[in-house]
Amino acid sequence: MEQPGAISELIDALKRLPGIGPRAAQRISYQLLSGDRSDATRLGRALLEAVDCVHKCPRCNSLTDKDLCIFCSSPNRDDSQLCIVETVADLMVIEQSLSYNGRYFVLQGRLSPLNGIGPHEIGLDKLIQRTAEDSLKEVIIATSFTAEGEATALAITDLLTKHHPQLRLTRIAKGVPAGAELEYTDVNTVAQAMLNRRVREL
């Protein structure tokens, strides 16, 4: 279909967002450009500003516009607990569930040997360093209950048992539906799973 280049480009850029199909991209584009364009300008500026000033937290891999993220720098969080998640979106779901007040560590996704994604790629070397701190007592593994998420949990258990045998390793309870992504689970289920966490055994 022929369309002005600037609109085509906007539709193409919107289509690349997760969960937005071609029809929705088109509808959003025309709605943003019809009438008052302040929403479009605001979103455009917000994107460029965020790309410019938001970076990965050097301590936990979450996102921040400061030296350290709010989860690492807050004096009100419990240094004795560390929760390991696959993505920043997963971290935010746990925050919203109001069931946890320790520190976090965000992996770079999940182990996927068939796709060449091994322990190094998801940041397990850095996790071993991070878990060497004396104040830390418990590591809560909150990866997804998918095959890859479970394999990742197993690899973490294996490594931490070897390197830091004094740590208590726990896994959030399987209240999260099996096969589901943590990110898409309702916060009450996530809260239940956090409360029901059990000691991890090999």
- Nearer to a second copy by Cβ, of 34 and 129: the residue is 34
Element (H, E) at 195: helix 187-195
5 binds, among Zn ion, a second copy, none (CB under 5 to 8 A by kind): a second copy
Residue 20 and residue 29 in contact, taking contact as beta carbons nearer than 8 Å: no
Q: How far is the CB of 167 from a second copy (least distance, A)?
A: 27
Question: Among 59-67, 135-143, 144-152, 170-178, which window interacts with a second copy (CB under 8 A)?
Answer: 59-67
Scanning the structure block, which residue is given the tokens 């085509």?
Answer: 8
Q: Which two tokens stand for residue 31?
A: 């709605």
Alpha-carbon gap, residue 185 to 167, rounded angstroms: 28
Residue 198 makes contact with a second copy by CB under 8 A: no
93-112 binders of a second copy (CB under 8 A): 95-96, 108
Q: Which helix (H) or strand (E) holds 128?
A: helix 124-130
CB nearer a second copy, residue 85 or residue 169: 85
- In the set 28, 60, 153, 190, which binds a second copy (CB under 8 A)? 28
- End-to-end CA gap in the chain: 57
Burial of residue 162 (number of CB atoms within 10 Å: 0-12, 13-18, 19+): exposed
Pairing of strands 102-106, 138-141: unpaired
The answer to whether 191 and 158 have CB atoms below 8 angstroms apart is no
Q: Does residue 24 touch a second copy according to CB under 8 A? A: yes
Distance CA(53)–CA(37), nearest Å, equals: 24
The contact pattern for Zn ion, residues 55-94, with x = CB under 5 A and - = no contact, is --x-xx-x------x--x----------------------
47 in contact with a second copy (CB under 8 A): yes
Using CB under 8 A, list all residues that contact a second copy: 1-7, 9-10, 12-14, 16-19, 24, 26-35, 37, 39-54, 63-66, 69-70, 87-89, 92, 95-96, 108, 183
Using CB under 5 A, list all residues that contact Zn ion: 57, 59-60, 62, 69, 72
